[in-house]
Copies of this chain bind each other. A is one copy, B any other.
Amino acid sequence: MTRAYNFCAGPATLPEEVLRQARDEMLDWQGSGMSVMEMSHRSDEFVSIAETAERDLRELAGVSDDYAVLFMQGGASSQFATIPLNLMAADGSADYVNTGIWSKKAIAEASRYGKVNVVASSEEGGFTTVPDQSQWDCSVEASYLHYTPNETIGGLEFDFVPDSGPVPLVADMSSTMLSRPVDVSKFGLIYAGAQKNIGPSGLVTVIIRKDLLGHARRETPTMMNYQVIADNGSMYNTPATYSWYLAGLVFKWLKAQGGVEAIGQLNQRKASKLYNFIDDSDFYANPIAPRFRSWMNVPFTLAEDSLNNDFLAGANARGLLNLKGHRSVGGMRASLYNAMPEAGVDALIDYMAEFARERG
């Protein structure tokens, strides 16, 4: 068996140690005679798994008791509706920052539920930078201010947390969650689809300040009502138990790596290596303003698009997988989530250098 280096943007590579443990426990979790996926979510065993995962996530991300931590289903895309349904009054409004394709999806869905003010956008320049906050046209009347700290497709990442004043700050952290230290106390709500830095798809974690619970609109489906989910410890119905368990294994793994501080330093080093190589090359290019280059998702182009297929074929042959860029952007994209070892980045750079020498 050979494990490849998988640069997929999501679902993404997971730590090999986590997969090994999941494999070893597949038929019999710790002498229980059952797989975790066969356990009642109300059983002592699973409740312990679930609570440990929540505790570890709180510790890793620095989440205080002022916040509820929810393990929900439906991905970040369901949250695009869940957020306005819970936080925006029917006659209210919300502010959104538009920095890429995921911002736009969040804006489109929220617009179906009320007035959305796009307070800043970098679309005109092709989403290559983050608009200067001094120019944002925010309102203190807004129910919340929403932004996307890391745009998975564009490879654009905020290096600051916006100041939203008294307005709750809401962030789609799907592709940056747990990749670097963040001061959670600055946020009203943080959500993250699991399939990048947390675990398998089909799970979405929500960290919500408790004073924001209990304001859902009448038409909110019960399964989307944050108050209901919080009151029931994310077990109003049967949760995605196996995904929750795997997330817990990833949290344990991350703690063993030294936590978010340590992984953040590693992530910065991994990304810097690749960006420096790209910048030093006259064959590869990345369009993002250097200050806002993502640590997690590195899009790059080759000098000629006609070489793309050869580049991908050669990469696949070396076990460097899923480097094809998103169809809306083209070129390549290397996702360097927490579970991508530095050796994977080194192997990618070696290959890129060789390809440029031979075909450049």
Q: Which residue of B lies closest to A20 (CB)?
A: B27
Copies in the complex: 2
Against B, the Cβ 8 Å flags (1 = close, 0 = not) of A14-28 are 101001101100111
A70 within 8 A of B: no
User: B residues within 8 A CB of A319?
Assistant: 33
- By a CB distance below 8 angstroms, the chain B residues around A10 are 40, 238
CB interface residues, A 258-280, toward B, < 8 Å: none
Contacts of A224 in B (CB 8 A): 221
Chain A contributes a number of interface residues (CB within 8 A of B) equal to: 68
Contact A201 B241 (CB under 8 A): yes
List residues of chain B with CB within 8 A of the CB of A20: 26-27
Complex Cα distance A113/B43, Å?
Answer: 33
Q: Which of B1, B237, B240 contacts A28 (CB 8 A)?
A: B1
Secondary structure at chain A's binding surface: helix, strand, loop or mixed? loop
Query: Are B33 and A241 interface neighbours, CB within 8 A?
Result: no
**With A and B bound together, what is the CA distance between A251 and B76 in angstroms?**
29
A-B contact pairs, 28 of them (CB 8 A): A4-B33, A4-B34, A6-B33, A8-B38, A8-B40, A10-B238, A11-B38, A11-B40, A14-B38, A16-B27, A19-B27, A23-B26, A23-B27, A33-B319, A34-B321, A73-B240, A77-B223, A78-B237, A80-B222, A81-B221, A85-B221, A112-B222, A200-B240, A201-B239, A201-B241, A202-B203, A221-B221, A243-B243
B-binding residues in A (CB < 8 A): 1-4, 6, 8-14, 16, 19-20, 22-23, 26-28, 32-35, 37-41, 43, 73-78, 80-82, 85, 109, 112-113, 193, 195, 199-203, 218-219, 221-224, 236-243, 246, 319, 321-322
7 nearest CB pairs, A to B = A202-B240, A4-B33, A81-B221, A77-B237, A23-B26, A37-B200, A73-B73
